[in-house]
Amino acid sequence: MAGKLQEVWEAQLGATVLWAPVALTFGIWSYFALPREPGLPIAGFFMLVAFLLFCKARGRMGIVLLAILLSGFVLAKFRAEMIATPLLKAVTGEIVVSGIVRDVERASERRATIILEPDKIEGMTTPQLPRRLRLSNSLSNGEPAIGARIAFRARLGPIASPTMPGGFDYGRQLYFQGIGGTGRITSKIDALGSASSASLWLSGTLHNLRQDIGSRIRQHLQGTIAAFAEALITGERASIPKDVNKSLQVSGLYHILSISGLHMSLAAGGMFWLARAVLALFPAVALRWPIKKWAAVAALAFGFAYMLLAGSDPPTTRSYIMLAVVFVAIIVDRPAISLRNLALAALLILILQPESAIQASFQMSFMAVMGLAAFFEYWNRPKPEREYRIENRRAYYARKLYQVALASILTTLIAGSFSSIPAAYHFGRLAPYGVLANGLAVPVVSLVVMPFAALGAVLMPLGLEAWPLAILGKGLEMVLSISDHVATLPGAQSVIPQVPLASAIALALGASILCLANRQAKYAGGVLLITGFALAQFNGFPDLLIERTAANTAFRNGSGELVFANSRRGRFAAEKWLQSNGEEIAFKQAAARPGWACEARSCRSEIKGKVIGYFLDGEGAQPACTDFDIIIAAYPLRGACKSVPTRIDRFDVWRMGSHAIVIEGGTTAITTARGLSGNRPWVVVPEPRKKMALTR
């Protein structure tokens, strides 16, 4: 047995580069999984150990991967230190704020999101100022230019905590963007001047260019089609209607809206083909010079310009890095599409942005491309001699057509299956007809939508964009028609309860082993996949959830459905709870379910033998507490109801965020969002507004 294991292990030697991103990812995950922030001495110790392991490895794969794993931990820690920002720890009243506009994004047709670098916040000292603020602004207040120094009145607050314990941490995502607070502008915006720097000038120029392109698109296309076209060319998605977003999500075509791998490969790949085709028209050039490499350089430049135009969002940037590795491989005469190139691209991304390892977009993209690259290498493996046979032209073209059709179906199925692993964990949504929808829509996007989108953008300076945009519009109509038809098929709206973390890790690691391992080691991948599917059945959803301001609460009934106490408040959290519970239902419908007996401002229910009381406010007489086992109050209880075994009031959720309660065997186990998030730099430890005022 030991000899067999040794043989399997030796078969993996030489694949260190392929496994390096996996090891680096696990190192980064280990940093984010800690309940407390590790000190710099610990990171320094791990860095020293990693360095010594690299020096002593002498090519031994296991030692090298261990060193890379430790390096992932160190990289994540150093990234957190580099991006560190003070956090707002209390909600403010209406105060005066001033600063420099770093970015402006349309959130809807009437609102925009402003990323501000503050230089003054009323009542705060300079060391307390966050590096950046994310502010919601009504366009009626004015829309400032990037680089402008502005002043206004606003209400500010901390970055958000998860909507449920263990849920998606939006605050952590903002922290790694350098954002330490959020808010809403409540007055007209006054322009105080402007700041000058190369980055601000470039950002402002690109923003104005995107606005101009969007305006030209809306001159030739109308409504939803214009919004769709603008999203594909400039990355502006604010005007797309909710029903269109929902249709694309259900059908499995939502990735078309996000400028990432598909768009970047079509744009840069199209330029590569076009440049090479044009150069091939000149035999004197084609026969003497490496026109394939010249075309790769042109594709790199065009892809870079498209990335800048689309806003350089993290998914777009990561897609360009992956594509750049492919074209650089062409320039240096290496295979363009290979697992090794994918590994190098992933390593570069994780080194520059370690936080990408925990983001859904990177995980979905990496898993999909890994599956495709492994399939591509298998598909193009050397064929046995018996497969080469003489055949007539009709049989030859029939076989080629069959191979193209089969490859198209298989690549769509593989990409969808592999990317569905992180999608199921992060979003709890599957697209059972994704293969059908993508099989019908992607050819339209590849042959009609993206080529004429690029041509329309190129011809805009000449005023000749009308006819390519018209063809683009027809292509987008076809894509939306496909999406709408697929979304109405039986079972298309497939929402599942959130996959447990252990299940997602087992599935992802199993898929990685199937793609990266050699010979018998692939069987371990199959075992892990089976294990992951088995673990997915054990979804420990809590019996009772409390929103992070106690504005709403919900229990899980005997049918596994969430029943809400309040039909009007806490809507955002409620929708996330429904999604995590695998329910494809509107909040209004879920709130109409029976289960709470409410009168005036209080509600009562019973689950698993525990009587629950929910009190919305403290006006009037205090409630009788003797009949309850659990009390939830959206206001401070102070000394009231001390005899109740479990009390959760406004102060509790203010300190610890959203709560979850599991009732088992007559006992209650409570978990909180901040308790599970731990003592980390992005976790806000709230302070009373009065205390914050004393530090002015």
CATH number of the CATH domain containing 187: 2.40.50
- Residue 309 CA, chain-centre distance (Å), reads 20
Parallel, antiparallel or unpaired: strands 553-556 and 544-546: antiparallel
CA distance 573 to 545: 10
**Same domain (yes/no): 327, 463:** yes
Which of 377, 439, 432, 441 is closest to 410 using CA atoms? 439
Q: What is residue 449's DSSP assignment?
A: I
CA distance 400 to 528: 36
Residue for token pair 């890994």? 370
**Count of the separate structural domains present in the chain:** 5
In a domain, 548, yes or no: yes
**Under a CB-based contact definition with an 8 Å cutoff, are residues 152 and 190 in contact?**
yes
CA distance 571 to 577: 10
Q: Which pLDDT score, from 0 to 100, does residue 256 have?
A: 77
- Distances 571 to 565, 567, 577, 611 between C-alpha atoms, Å: 12, 8, 10, 24
Q: What is residue 448's DSSP assignment?
A: I
Which of 649, 581, 668, 564 is closest to 660 using CA atoms? 668
pTM value? 0.85
Q: Which contiguous run of DSSP H or E holds residue 622?
A: none
DSSP assignment string, 41-67:
HHHHHHHHHHHHHHHHHTT-HHHHHHH
3-state secondary structure of 168: coil
CA torsion through residues 289, 290, 291, 294, sign = negative
pLDDT digits (tens, 9 = 90+) for 5-49: 555 555 555 678 888 899 999 999 999 999 999 999 999 999 999
CA distance 123 to 109: 33
Parallel, antiparallel or unpaired: strands 562-564 and 597-599: unpaired
In a domain, 202, yes or no: no
CA distance 182 to 423: 27
**Under a CB-based contact definition with an 8 Å cutoff, are residues 421 and 511 in contact?**
yes
3-state secondary structure of 588: helix
In a domain, 53, yes or no: yes
CA distance 538 to 176: 32
**CA dihedral angle for residue 132, residue 137, residue 142, residue 148, rounded to 10 degrees:** 10
Residue for token pair 């046995």? 384
CA distance 632 to 616: 9
**Same domain (yes/no): 489, 513:** no
3-state secondary structure of 151: strand
CA distance 468 to 453: 7
CA distance 374 to 364: 16
Q: Name, in order, each residue with C-beta under 8 angstroms of 587's C-beta and a sequence gap of 6 or more.
A: 564, 571, 574, 575, 578
**Same domain (yes/no): 237, 278:** yes
In a domain, 678, yes or no: no
**Same domain (yes/no): 375, 230:** yes
Q: Which two tokens stand for residue 585?
A: 């239902």
**Same domain (yes/no): 522, 589:** no
In a domain, 693, yes or no: no
Residue for token pair 């402002």? 204
Q: What is residue 145's DSSP assignment?
A: P
In a domain, 392, yes or no: no
**Under a CB-based contact definition with an 8 Å cutoff, are residues 422 and 360 in contact?**
yes
**Under a CB-based contact definition with an 8 Å cutoff, are residues 374 and 328 in contact?**
no
**Same domain (yes/no): 124, 221:** no
Boundaries of domain holding 522: 501-535
DSSP assignment string, 513-544:
HHHH--GGGHHHHHHHHHHHHHHTT-----SE
**Under a CB-based contact definition with an 8 Å cutoff, are residues 82 and 128 in contact?**
no
Counting as low any pLDDT under 70, the low residues of the chain are 1-14, 259-262, 312, 335-337, 380-392, 493-494, 519, 618-623, 689-696
Domain-ending residue, one of 438, 463, 495: 495
CA distance 238 to 406: 37
Q: What are phi and psi of 133, to 5 degrees?
A: -120, 145
**Same domain (yes/no): 343, 471:** yes
Residue for token pair 């409504």? 223
**Same domain (yes/no): 72, 126:** no
Q: Name, in order, each residue with C-beta under 8 angstroms of 266's C-beta and a sequence gap of 6 or more.
A: 445, 446, 450, 451
Provide the residue count of the chain.
Answer: 696
List beta partners, residue 668.
663
Q: At what angle do helices 198-220 and 291-309 cross, to 10 degrees?
A: 90
Q: Which residue intervals of 354-500 are DSSP H helices? A: 360-379, 393-427, 434-444, 450-459, 466-487
Parallel, antiparallel or unpaired: strands 610-615 and 602-607: antiparallel
**Same domain (yes/no): 158, 302:** no
**Same domain (yes/no): 531, 548:** no
In a domain, 680, yes or no: no
In a domain, 406, yes or no: no
pLDDT digits (tens, 9 = 90+) for 569-612: 888 999 888 888 888 888 888 888 888 888 877 888 888 888 89
**Same domain (yes/no): 227, 362:** yes
**Under a CB-based contact definition with an 8 Å cutoff, are residues 259 and 235 in contact?**
yes
**Same domain (yes/no): 451, 527:** no
Q: Name, in order, each residue with C-beta under 8 angstroms of 128's C-beta and a sequence gap of 6 or more.
A: 86, 121, 695
**Under a CB-based contact definition with an 8 Å cutoff, are residues 548 and 42 in contact?**
no
